[in-house]
Each structure stands twice: as structure tokens, then as C-alpha cells.
Amino acid sequence: MSDQGPRVLIVDDEVAIRRFLRSSLAAHGYSVHDASSGEEALQMVPAVRPDVIILDLGLPGIWGTEVTKCLREWTQTPIIILSVEGEEAAKINALDAGADDYLTKPFGAGELLARIRAALRRAAKPEDGPVFVTGDLQVDLAGRAVRLRDTDVQLTPTEYSLLKTLVIHANKLLTHRQLVREVWGGAHYEDAPHLLRVNISNLRRKLETDPARPRYIVTEPGVGYRLRTEPVVAPSVI
Amino acid sequence: MRAPNTTSLNPPAQFYIRKITTSRLPPRMIRLLGPSAPNNPGWRVLPVGFALVVFLTVVGLWIEPVIKAPNLAILYMLAVVMTALRWGRMAATISAISGAVLFDYFFVPPPRTFLVSDGWYLITLVGLLTIGLLVSMLTLAAREEAQTAQRREEYTSALYSLTEALAAESDLDRILDAIERHLLETFQRPIIIWMPVDGRLKARISNSELATAASKEAAAVWVFENGEEAGCGTARFMDSRVHYLPLKTWKGVVGVLGLQADTSKEPASDEKHLLDTFANQAALAITRAILAQEAQRTAVLQETDKLQKALLSSISHNFRTPLASVIGALNSVLSDGALLDISTQRELLKTAQDEAKRLNRLVQNLLDMTRLEGGAVHVRSEPCDVQDVVGSALEQLGDAARERLITIAIPPDLPLVPMDFVLIVQVVVNLVDNSLKYSSAGAPIEVGASLKHDQLQIRVADRGRGIAEQDLERVFEKFFRGASAETPGGSGLGLSICKGLVEAHHGRIWAERRLNGGTEMIFSLPLEAQ
């Protein structure tokens, strides 16, 4: 096991899951630490100083959601939530509380590695350059200009604000609530979810080659949206 | 069941009716005597008999010069018979005695005395008195007979109407209602019916003041357990004001009927008969209803049992098959790893992975089905972008969908439609997944959405093997596998989950056969949130 690679803290009460994650991650050069409960994890984080935390939701004792809230009081270390089907509400709460991403069990190692890489990259350069580029899409945050295949794209102020939020948090999963808060401010409009859907739809129509199979703005059903810059990582389990 | 004794052995209804038809009085006579004769004339009518005799005496005095005195005795005779018929025995007796006295005083020589000079007149007088008394007695007997016959006729018609009402009903509650209504109508007294509910005797019908005091329940329980009458007028619980009858048939005692005793008069024997017959009819009807209920319950149980068996066999088969592959493949790699080349090892591991995925899908489907059937699925309707729904579904299908030609036809001006995004995504995923599974790799798949008849219609069409005409509806049944569905990996639940989810949205889903082969799955959702 290498102690040189990025440090990962695995928090899961299942021995089999910890063993599987430990061997997969160690094989890819990560330095792996693990905890079997939320309490243990909260004690370990200050000592281990992990670069990324993989946190199971359904822990004995305090839940993953609570662990996320506690950690976010003092650290911005990326947190990837592991959940099973049926924990949707808890999952969204954890994401709202500041978790960066989630994976639904069962998942493949490849998928997890991709999420970890993305999280580490985001954490490594919190400030993007003034011009964000992915594929054919260019967003000049300083000049408020959006270009697609070197053609200017006209966006409404709301559309631009939404795109900007997605770009700043590129590859991070943003929940509906987080997006509404960022774009429409503190006021929680009654029809904000509606407005969000319409604006996402409009953005796709202006930016995506095939709006029905978007390349950049991806929907996480029931959770939120993310701007994807990574090559597509197929979920290994349908 | 204990041997029935004479008190609890209810005579069959036919017996009772036959008794009526052998009544000695012809019906016309019953009508003549019955309704007009008051039941209890009382003392008020006694002067009437006397007055009639006085009136005849005045008439007699007036016509005496024309008609000879002995013939006048016939007039008095007539008065006695009329009085007996109209006003009963007492009035007739008074009229006979007073008639004899007045006849003697006014018409028997020597006139205006109570003396009798001629021996023949003595015979006339005695005859007048005797015939008067005899006629009055006979009249009474005839009238009582008529009253009994009338009561029996009423009872028979009450019984007929009960039998008719009971025959028309098969539902237990309605049968109990009918029994209550007819008993009340016939006996004009509060009734109560106890029936066993979950092993305890409970009042199923109880009207008015016949509340279920503990003592009454004790009596009812005794009657239920022993199958014999109790309460007022019997040897058991005799101080009770209620008469308890077992509702008894060949199936045993099905309940207990309680009728408030009428303390004002001695119950007529034919009334007791009627009550027994009523109880008998009620017991038969209740038994019939119970049997019908049991038959229905058995049918439901059998249906549930069949489903559970199908579920179990499907689960055990669908679980074991992939598990066998997973365990077998992993075993080979672990124990014979050194003997296998890398590509064989990868192949084995790939098999294990595919089969594990299949297991996961199965578990997911079972979970979804359980949630749907348990009512745990809550539709959170929000205006949704249909294009986003289809896109998310294809995204979820991952490589399987990317590797195939899937054309999407969604008009850009389609409005947002209220639905639960996650649930409808799952419907589309299941439908497209089916199309992927049941059509060959080169065959195109079409996904489309449109507005039709104020509904959103989403369709998924393939060029697969298609579904037999007779199976178009059955494919949505649980565990139904089409005759051509040999492709492994299906749980037989995917389409029934779709149906459940669409119907939870107040929508409809159906399958159509396509021209030139293939299947088109269509579901519609209302445009207005329900």
C-alpha cells in the first residue's frame, strides 16, 4: 500500500464493502484509511486529514447526513456519499448539507474512481481561470460571454446565472435547492422548481447538439443537475 | 352436535302451512265471522242484548192480535242468535234469560204474570232458554276458530314474506336486516341477534332498549353453546325478560335470536310455532350467507396462494440461476486461477459481473413491486420537461442505450407536464430496456412524445419479435412471460411495475402490434395534475 498517494477515508459499517474499496483504491495508488461508524470518522478526520471522504449514509449511530453537517462546519474536504435505493430523502439532505457527490450501491470501482478523481480535481483548483472550456463550449466568466463552436450564444440573465453556477461547480452535483438558492437568491419562489426546469430546458436547447441526450448539462433524476466535463463514465449497473 | 329435544326441534315450515289449509272453517266463514266479531266485547255490549229483547217485546205486543203468542217465541230465538253473533256469549246469555222472562210475563197465559198455566208453554220457555244458551256457546267456538284462522293466515303471510326476502339476499348484513325488519313487523317487540365474531359472541343486530347487559350475554352464550332455548318461558334463565332461541341448522348453531317476552299475555302456542319457524328460516339464510362468504374467502385465498407460489418459484428460479453463475465463475478463478489464461479469467469474471447485475435488477424490481402494492409509492407531481425525462432514462440505461440506434421524436413546443420525474423515468427505462432486450442489435428503437386528446402520450417502439395478439394485455400481468420471451434476465415484473406507476399517475399504458413487425408500448398521462 502506498502512503504517497491522495488519502481517502472510507466510512462504512460493512466489512465486505470496506475490503472491496480498500483493495480497489490501494491498487490505484490511494492511501486508504477506514472507519466503521460516523463517530469514529469524526475523530479520524482531523488526524488523517483525508483528501476525499467516502461516506456511507446508513451508518449505525449517527447517520451520514449528520456526519456531513458536522464536517462541513470546519472542512471543505470533498465528500462522496454512498447510499442504497430507498434513502433518497437522506441522500438529498446530505447533498444539500454540502456533500459533493453520491453513488448508489451497488456500483463499480471504475465509477467510484472517476468520482474521486473529479472531486480531487475540483478541490485542487477552487478558482477556475476566467475562461472555462469544455468540448465546444466556452464560458468567459469575466466577460459574461458564452460561445459554442466559436459562435456567440445569447442567454437571458437567468440562463446565464444558472450556467455560471453550473460552470463554477463543474462536475459537482448541484441539488435543485442549491441551484434555486444560487440563481434566484434567498427568496424561495413558489414556482422556482418550475422555473429551474424551464431554464435548464432552454439552456440545453441553446447549448446541446441533441437536447434529448445532453452532453454537458446532465440530469440526476430526483436530485439535481451537474455540468459534465469528464468523458462519460457509464454506470456499471443499470 | 347434541340430539335435539322437542323444545328446540323446529318444525319445518311446510308442516305449519299444511295445518292452515286443513282448517275446518271455509274461508268465506272466516271473513264473515272474523273481522266483524270484536275480540273482547266487554261489559259495554251487555245492555244491547237486553235492549233488543225489550224492542222485540214491544213489537210482539203490537202484532199479538195477528200472530198467536207461541209463534212469538221464534222472534226471541232470532234475537238470541243475532246477539250471540254480534256481541258474544255474555250478551247472548242475558238476551236468552231476559227474553224468556219477558215472554213469560207478557205473552204466556195468564198474561202480565210470571205464572205458567199451560204445560206446553213451559216447554216453549225452557226450549227458548236452552237454545239461546247453546247458540251463544256455539257462536263463541266458531268465532274463536275464526280468530285463530285469521292469525294463522297473518303468520303464514309473514312467513312467506320473510322467506321471500331472505331468498332474494345473499349478503349477510342484508339478510340480518331482513330478519330484523320482518321479526319486528310480525311480533312488534324488540329483537336481538348474536353471532360469533372472532370467537366471541357479539350482538350483530340489536334495536332499541334490548341493550346487551352482561346477564343477557351469558344467556346468549349458554344458548349458543347448548343449542337449546332459554330465557322467559323456559327452564333456563327464566327470570330473563328475553326469550332466547338458537339459530340452528345442519351446520350447527350459527347464532342466537333474542325476542323480548310479551309479559302482558300468555303466548299462544301457534305464535311460539311461528317464532320457531322464523328462527329456522333465519338460521338457514344466515348459514347460506356464511357459506357464500367462506367460499369467496377461499377463492381469494387460492388466488393469493397462486400468486405467492408464482412469486416464490419466480424468485427462487431467478435468484438461483444468476447466483449459480456467479459462484461457479468466482470459484473457478479462485481455485483454478493458475491453470486459466488471463482472457479466460476475464471472461469468467465478466460472467460473474453480468449475473450479479441481473440479480441486482431483480431485487430492484421486487422492491419496486412490493412498494407499489404496499401503497408506499407516493407520486410527487411537478411540471416536468418530457425531453429531460427521456434523456435521463437513456442516460440511466448507459452503454446499452448508447450502442443502439435510438431515435427520439419530441416536439420542442411540448409544455411541461405534471408527473413524478423519477417514477416516469423508471417507466421509460423499463420500456426501452425491454425493447433493447427483445429486438436484435441492429434494429432501431423509436421513442416519441406527443399531445393527444388532452393527454401526454409517450411511446417506445421496436422492431423486435412482437407480442402475440392474445398476450397484448397479459404482458402487464405480474410474472407473465410471453411465449417468445426466451431472453434471460427478465423478472416478469418490469411491465407490471410500469403499469402500476402509470396508473398511480391516473394514466394508462397499453401495447400495440406494429405493422411490419415489432411492438409499440404507449402510455398516456393527464395534462392536469390529479
pLDDT in tens, B242-253: 888 898 888 888
Asked whether residue A200 is domain-assigned, the answer is yes
**Any bridge partners for residue A43, and if so which?**
none
> What's the topology of domain B318-373?
Helix Hairpins (1.10.287)
We report the CATH number of the domain holding residue A53 as 3.40.50.2300
Tell me how far apart the alpha carbons of residues A238 and B16 are, in angstroms, rounded to a whole number: 77
C-alpha cell at A190: 413558489
Q: Show residues of chain A in contact with B408, CB under 8 Å.
A: 210, 212-213
Both A139 and A120 in one domain: the answer is no
We report the CATH number of the domain holding residue A144 as 1.10.10.10
More confident residue, A140 or B209: A140
Both A63 and A98 in one domain: the answer is yes
Q: Show residues of chain A in contact with B391, CB under 8 Å.
A: 211-214, 219
Closest-CA distance, A202 to chain B, in angstroms, reads 10
- pLDDT over 70 at B404, yes or no: yes
pLDDT in tens, B451-460: 988 899 999 9
Asked whether residue A1 is domain-assigned, the answer is no
Closest-CA distance, B397 to chain A, in angstroms, reads 6
Of A197, A212, A222, the CB nearest to B383: A197
pLDDT in tens, B476-488: 887 776 655 555 5
Both A23 and A120 in one domain: the answer is yes
Residues in chain B: 530
Q: First-to-last CA distance in chain A?
A: 32
- pLDDT over 50 at A2, yes or no: no
**Any bridge partners for residue B512, and if so which?**
B520
Percent of chain A exceeding pLDDT 70 equals 90
Whether residue A198 and residue B416 make contact (CB cut-off 8 A), yes or no, is: yes
**Residue A59: partners with Cβ closer than 8 Å, 6 or more residues away:** A11, A12, A13, A37, A38, A67
B48 phi, psi to nearest 5 deg = -65, -45
Whether residue B425 and residue A221 make contact (CB cut-off 8 A), yes or no, is: yes
Both A204 and A166 in one domain: the answer is yes
Whether residue A197 and residue B433 make contact (CB cut-off 8 A), yes or no, is: no
Of B360, B382, B391, the CB nearest to A213: B391
Res. B492 pLDDT band, cuts 50 70 90: confident
Both A48 and A120 in one domain: the answer is yes
Closest-CA distance, B387 to chain A, in angstroms, reads 5
Both A193 and A135 in one domain: the answer is yes
CATH code for the domain defined by B382-526: 3.30.565.10
Residues in chain A: 238
Both A88 and A138 in one domain: the answer is no
- Which pLDDT score is estimated for B267? 60
Res. A171 pLDDT band, cuts 50 70 90: confident
Which residues in B347-362 are b (16+ Cβ under 10 Å) and which e?
ebeebbeebbbbbbbb
Residue ranges per structural domain of chain B? 13-161, 170-296, 318-373, 382-526
Both A144 and A223 in one domain: the answer is yes
Q: How many domains does chain A have?
A: 2
Closest-CA distance, A238 to chain B, in angstroms, reads 6
Tell me how far apart the alpha carbons of residues B388 and A77 are, in angstroms, rounded to a whole number: 32
Domain boundary among A64, A93, A124: A124
- Name which of B280, B267, B179 is nearest B231 in CA terms: B267
Res. B174 pLDDT band, cuts 50 70 90: confident
Would you say B80 and B132 are in contact if contact means Cβ atoms under 8 Å apart? yes
CATH of B170-296, one of 3.30.70.20, 3.20.20.70, 3.30.450.40, 3.30.70.260: 3.30.450.40
Asked whether residue A2 is domain-assigned, the answer is no
Whether residue A237 and residue B360 make contact (CB cut-off 8 A), yes or no, is: yes
- Name which of B443, B74, B387 is nearest A219 in CA terms: B387
Both A119 and A49 in one domain: the answer is yes
Asked whether residue A26 is domain-assigned, the answer is yes
Q: Show residues of chain A in contact with B398, CB under 8 Å.
A: 234-235, 238
Both A107 and A136 in one domain: the answer is no
More confident residue, B524 or B79: B524
A74 phi, psi to nearest 5 deg = -140, -10
Helices (H), B210-341: 214-226, 269-336
**Residue A190: partners with Cβ closer than 8 Å, 6 or more residues away:** none
Domain boundary among A104, A124, A144: A124
Query: Do the domains B382-526 and B170-296 match in fold?
Result: no
Q: What is the mean predicted confidence (pLDDT) over B58-69?
A: 80
Tell me how far apart the alpha carbons of residues A136 and A146 are, in angstroms, rounded to a whole number: 11
Residue A69 domain boundaries: 7-124
Question: Mean of the per-residue pLDDT values for chain B?
Answer: 80
Would you say B46 and B91 are in contact if contact means Cβ atoms under 8 Å apart? yes
Distance from chain centroid for Cα B115: 80
